[in-house]
Amino acid sequence: MKKYTSINDIDNLTSWIEEAKELKENPLKHCALGTKKTLGLLFFNTSLRTRLSTQKAALNLGMDPIVMNVSGDAWGIEFEDGSIMNGSTAEHIKEAAAVVSQYCDMIAVRAFPSLKDKEQDEAEHVLKAFMKYASVPVISMESATEHPLQGFTDAITISENTKKKRPKVVLSWAPHVNALPHAVANSFVQAMQKMDVEFIITNPKGYNLNSAITKETTIEHDQIVALKNADFVYAKNWSSYEDYGKILNTDTAWMLTKEKLGNAKFMHCLPVRRNLVAEDAVLDSNASLVIEQANNRTYAAQLVLKKILENL
């Protein structure tokens, strides 16, 4: 594999899930595969799980992770072609990406969207620039529109926890005080579309995700109807896609409660705001899979690193 920047980079989700489960059973089986290979982790934004799980995955494979907070450790990077760089940016992505490629055998990048300019965000100008100018494989640790390590993790977690051949999975919009990206939701949708599940999205009007991603997936605006007989409920806030990046709805009635959850398992990518996105009774119950999701982040990342290492 030469890159991992989208759920679409997974050629066969079923077999990937099985391979990730094998890594989870025996995380150190390939502990020499990455010997003397460096993974550069470049963060344009904060990170807890992604930061730690990707380092752990690299260490399990014997790699040397090198972490860099781009904003704090270095300087402003220019992404525009042809610009006269007499402003605040000190280095062009053409040089930055090519240079990091000299020191790292693969580059993992986190770069959130502006949520102000839909076109620019959808162009994925940061991630795409790294893909264009880096001479080594690039991994997305969450880009403007996708979070493929999370989406793959979620697929693994559902596979591990389902008791049915074809479970019902609901992605339910949740309230939040900040305008959040669509990346986690998008990658979850894409992962579910590749799995043998009954999948439905529920969100308030005005909050439909990009239809180019949701495609034929049913969108139900009545949360109670959508949650009926669910086996897995994934709660997640996102800002409006149509009225791009705006908060149109702060109705706390969309919070996930134990009563609404019923017998379903609860999922969330974390960090989760308690008693806003989901109530304590949900998160503190045995129905919650959020910690196991966090655990699976390691093995999702480890499989991606392994597949790239095998092709270096």
Determine whether the annotation assigns residue 27 to a binding site: no
Q: Per the structure block, which two tokens stand in for 258?
A: 């134990």
Question: Judged by CB under 8 A, how many residues of this single chain contact a second copy?
Answer: 62
Residue 190 backbone zone (phi > 0: left; psi -120 to 50: alpha; other: beta) = alpha
Q: CB 238 → a second copy: shortest distance, Å?
A: 15
What is the per-residue burial (b if ≥16 Cβ within 10 Å, else e) of 212-234? ebbeebebbeebeebbeebbbbb
Q: CB 276 → a second copy: shortest distance, Å?
A: 5
User: What is the DSSP-derived secondary structure letter of residue 75?
Assistant: -
Determine whether the annotation assigns residue 166 to a binding site: no
CA-derived radius of gyration, the chain: 19
**Of residues 42 and 264, the one with the C-beta less far from a second copy:** 42
- In the set 260, 298, 300, 305, which binds a second copy (CB under 8 A)? 298
**Interaction between residue 150 and a second copy (CB under 8 A):** no
Q: Per the structure block, which two tokens stand in for 247?
A: 């908060």
Contact assessment for residue 50 and residue 297, using Cβ atoms and an 8 Å cutoff: yes
Angle subtended at Cα 271 by Cα 298 and Cα 173, rounded to the nearest 5 degrees: 110
Which of these ranges, 124-132, 197-205, 225-233, 264-272, lies near a second copy under the rule CB under 8 A?
A: 264-272
Q: Find the binding residues for a second copy in span 35-54 (CB under 8 A).
A: 36, 38, 40, 43, 46-49, 51-53
**Of residues 62 and 228, the one with the C-beta less far from a second copy:** 62
Contact assessment for residue 2 and residue 183, using Cβ atoms and an 8 Å cutoff: no
x-marked contacts with a second copy along 221-250 as a string, rule CB under 8 A: ------------------------------
Cα 22 from Cα 25, distance rounded (Å): 5
**Of residues 14 and 46, the one with the C-beta less far from a second copy:** 46
Angle subtended at Cα 283 by Cα 141 and Cα 152, rounded to the nearest 5 degrees: 30
- In the set 12, 75, 243, 257, which binds a second copy (CB under 8 A)? 75
- In the set 20, 126, 155, 272, which binds a second copy (CB under 8 A)? 272
Determine whether the annotation assigns residue 51 to a binding site: no
Which of these ranges, 110-118, 162-170, 188-196, 290-298, lies near a second copy under the rule CB under 8 A?
A: 290-298
The neighbouring-strand residues paired with 266 are: 233, 288
Determine whether the annotation assigns residue 148 to a binding site: yes
User: What is the DSSP-derived secondary structure letter of residue 293?
Assistant: H
**Interaction between residue 149 and a second copy (CB under 8 A):** no
Reduce the DSSP state of residue 139 to 3 states and report it: strand
For residue 115, the tally of other CB atoms under 10 A from its CB is 19
Cα 231 from Cα 193, distance rounded (Å): 16
- In the set 1, 41, 92, 302, which binds a second copy (CB under 8 A)? 92
- In the set 82, 163, 164, 251, which binds a second copy (CB under 8 A)? 82
Helix axes 290-309, 13-25, angle to 10 degrees: 100
Show binding-site residues for carbamoyl phosphate.
Answer: 47-50, 75, 110, 147-150, 269-270, 297
Provide the binding-site residues for a second copy, judged by CB under 8 A.
28, 31, 36, 38, 40, 43, 46-49, 51-53, 55-56, 59-60, 64, 66, 68-69, 72-75, 78, 82-87, 89-92, 94-96, 98-100, 102-104, 177, 270-276, 280, 283-284, 290-291, 294-295, 297-298
